[in-house]
Amino acid sequence: MSEGFSVEEMNVGQSASMSKTVTEADIILFAGITGDFNPAHIDEEYAKQSMFKGRIAHGMLSAGFISATLAMKLPGPGTIYLGQNMKFKAPVKIGDTVKTTVTITDINLEKKIVKLDTVCTVGDTKVVVGDCVMMKP
């Protein structure tokens, strides 16, 4: 497996993206793995009465897409997650394709620390925004 980019190979402004269409199975499996069976995610009848008018994916599922993009694309395999700030801006529903984009905003060569903006979108709608700090040993 590739080790991704070294800190010396990265540049401020460099970005990478991944996309994933959220399925019923994704939501059920995420609930089973985490134990989060909130009816907003699992129970269609309950969710129809909510402000979203139907089931929504767990917010942390989209956060997992951020993690995957960081680990697999930029900075890539071998990356160590140090911190993440995020805000959930809009819901993700079954069948939505979430595009995750990470963009380098700062690099500390000496400490091998990389800061990135992180954004998840569904179409033109930002569903998660934030930033993170990574180490690339």
CA 65 to chain centre: 3
Fold of 7-135: Thiol Ester Dehydrase; Chain A (3.10.129)
Give the three-state DSSP class for 46: helix
Which amino acid type is present at position 18? M
Q: How far apart are CA 19 and CA 122, in angstroms?
A: 10
Please, are residues 89 and 105 in contact by the beta-carbon 8 Å criterion? Answer: no
Residue with tokens 């129970």: 43
The tens digit of pLDDT for each residue in 88-136 reads 999 999 999 999 999 999 999 999 999 999 999 999 999 999 999 999 9
Q: How far apart are CA 79 and CA 70, in angstroms?
A: 7
- Alpha carbon distance, N-terminus to C-terminus of the chain: 16
The tens digit of pLDDT for each residue in 26-85 reads 999 999 999 999 999 999 999 999 999 999 999 999 999 999 999 999 999 999 999 999
